[in-house]
Chains A and B, each alone.
Chain A
Amino acid sequence: MPILSFSLKDTVYGWKLNEVTLQDFNLLVGLSGSGKSNILRSLQMIRTAGTQQPGSLPANGAEWAIKVKTDEGVFEWLAKVSVSSAAAFFQTGQNGGRGDLQLSDLPIFEKEQLFKNGKEIVSRNEYGVIKLEGRETPKLRNTDSVVSLLSNEPLVAPMFHFLNRIIFSEAGNYEQGAQYLFVEPETIPLPRAEEIRAVFTDLEQLPRLRGFPLLLKGYILQENFPQVMRRLKERYSEIFETVTDFKVGKIEEMLPHPIADNTRLSGQLVLGIKEKGVSDWILGHLISAGMLKTLIHLFELEMMPADSVVLVDEFENGLGVNCLPAVTDIFLRHTDKQFILTSHHPYVINNIPWRYWKLVTRKGSEVTVKEVAALPSFDKESLLSQFVLLTNLDEYQEAIQ
């Protein structure tokens, strides 16, 4: 159930993305500044607008069309949001949320249409009148989208649920990931972790663990789903052949020396890995960034619902050349999800078949995405490596004009 296509115009940033058609796996390639990351941010913006994350700003000054395929049919959502100068300031300022904004500062949805299989099911006109299957609804907030406002309507719900499954990878910034290594006792003490663990006894519930600290996810998998944990360990050991085991346990059990009972470490969960030739557990913050990020990717992919749309910006960040191809393979293997990745790295580009490449080009503020395989100058049979072929394309070298 993928995103089929989307386009977006962002008045605040003065940026326009022409309609891009997506496959089940997409590697966005192109020069720095061509707009790859902005494409992912646009999708995040659309997701936020449709699902109304708490404290989030609506898509200020944006106008988009997105077409998605769900089990219930093909949905297309068109929306136009007004520009709010105050919101624009806060959006680009230090305050990421809408907390400091007055209600009157918020941008409003000026126009919306939602189609199912080509038939209009919801509309909102410039006077704020919303119609569901032709029938006018009571007056609803114009700062929220029809998809979020009517998310309980069976007709609209599939679109809402689809947008909820657009997931920006937590591993995008491994330093942030590192913060998830320890569970602070005051946030989730072990007894609390045990309480949460008791709730998650069914594999179907795993996607709901998203957003939980890595450590807690690991603990629940280890204790409740040993078969899943075993599979993850196998995959991890394939990538890092020196790693023989990983485990989430109480710090007292993982350290080679005793700690005083009254320290803040006492009773805290910690992640440890075992390596060949090293007798003690290597704990949390001492695990290398690349090893940690790989682990975050593995856990994340395992716990995402099937049919997720996974966005990963600069896939290679924090990953060493010893694990990049293997992590790329793991992504390719998750065929139940749609992926939209960006990368500059030869190790990634060489390991993802060219038929999944999308070249991002920019002329002024207008961004166009091209299928590399469809470019007449792209030689699919050349002996040169994929990366060399890509970077030698005129369209690649002149991607920004």
Chain B
Amino acid sequence: MNLYFLVEGRQTEKKVYQSWISHVFSDLKKADVIGDVRTNNYRLFSIEGNTDRLDNIEKAISEINWHNKMAAEQGKEPFDHLFVCLDAEEVDWPIRVTQVEHLLSNQVSPTQSHAIVHNCCIETWFLGNREMMKRNPQSENLRVWKTFYDVSVGCPESMACYPGFRVKAEFHLEYLKEMLRERNLNYSKKLPRAVQDENYLRALVNRYETTGHIQSFGRLVTVWRSLRGNI
């Protein structure tokens, strides 16, 4: 089985997805060069900064189509699945999902495509780990934010922007940092080590399964399970 991931974000998404793939599909090996893709490989690219996401998606589709065509001639396996993972940001989640699904539909046959849209950002998913929230946080900020919205009780995806923050994703990021700091874990966009851990991933899966929260993450779990991933 060969997988293709296009993830949007600075460095967090690339690091986290790579780690999670290694936990869930331990037999998959990352291929840095398209020619190295044979069996049980995956490719992962991060779309960052000034490049345009549509342009990148189209290029990924072209690469997949080209590989699939060549694979048939060279006795390699085609890409079985394409995952496009991006943030809903401030667009309604269903709208963003529909847009990406529409864009991907029928473009990469026989590769199946999946739109994974973080609602609103990937840190929103990470807020779903209930084990990380202390009952009585020491941090003044976290105490205030927990009163505003307790992510260990309510679904993190439903948490609005705290007054004083200009961007909702910024608030989710800061909330996560404070929550993890209480557990002596550092989190930053560049160094998201804490959430790369397998146990962290399992805790999020548990949250989804027991409460139905973080639905946008649940979509990923469902697809990965259908691929017999260890999740």
Contacts and interface: CB of A to CB of B under 8 A. Distances in A.
A160 interface: no
Nearest to A324: B49
A380 B166 contact: no
A25 B91 CA distance: 20
A333 B164 CA distance: 9
Interface stretch (B24-32, B34-42, B95-103): B95-103
A385 B190 contact: no
A142 B53 CA distance: 58
Interface of A: 24-25, 238, 241, 321, 324-326, 329, 332-333, 335, 345-347, 350, 353, 356, 380-381, 383-385, 387-388
A350 B54 contact: no
A350 B50 CA distance: 7
Nearest to B57: A383
A276 to B, nearest CB: 12
Contact of A387 (B50, B91, B191): B50
B50 A383 contact: no
Nearest to A331: B166
A381 B100 CA distance: 12
B49 A381 contact: no
B167 interface: yes
B52 A385 contact: yes
Interface string B85-98: 00000111001100
Contacts of A385: 50-54
B188 A383 contact: no
B91 A380 contact: yes
> For A24, A329, A332, A356, which residue has the most chain B Cβ atoms within 10 angstroms?
A329
B202 interface: no
B170 interface: yes
A35 to B, nearest CB: 24
Interface of B: 10, 49-54, 90-92, 95-96, 99-100, 103, 164-167, 170, 174, 188-191
Given A238-B188, A241-B191, A353-B167, A347 B53 contact: no
Contact of B100 (A25, A329, A383, A388): A383
Contacts of B92: 381
Secondary structure of the B side of the interface? Answer: loop
Contact of A347 (B49, B166, B170): B49
Contact of B170 (A24, A329, A345): A329
Contacts of B174: 333
Nearest to A239: B190
A178 B219 CA distance: 50
B91 A350 contact: no
A347 B100 contact: no
A24 B49 CA distance: 24
Contacts of B90: 353
Nearest to A351: B49
Given A346-B49, A383-B100, A238 B190 contact: yes
B189 A238 contact: yes
A322 to B, nearest CB: 9
A238 B188 CA distance: 6
Contact of B95 (A25, A326, A329, A381): A381
Given A25-B166, A356-B166, A385-B50, 11 more contacts: A326-B189, A329-B170, A335-B166, A347-B49, A347-B50, A350-B50, A381-B91, A383-B54, A383-B103, A384-B52, A385-B54
A353 B52 contact: no
A70 B188 CA distance: 36
Nearest to B49: A347
A329 B190 CA distance: 14
B52 A241 contact: no
A321 B49 contact: yes
Contact of B49 (A238, A329, A350, A380): A350
B10 A325 contact: yes
Contacts of A384: 52-54
A353 B50 contact: no
Return the 8 tightest CB-CB contacts between A and B, nearest first: A346-B50, A238-B188, A385-B52, A332-B166, A347-B49, A335-B164, A388-B52, A241-B190
A392 B190 CA distance: 31
A353 B166 contact: yes
A333 B173 CA distance: 11
Contacts of A238: 188-191
Given A241-B190, A380-B91, A383-B103, A325 B49 contact: yes
B53 A383 contact: yes
Contacts of A381: 91-92, 95-96, 99
Contact of A333 (B52, B96, B170): B170
8 contacts: A333-B166, A333-B170, A356-B166, A381-B92, A383-B103, A384-B54, A385-B50, A388-B52
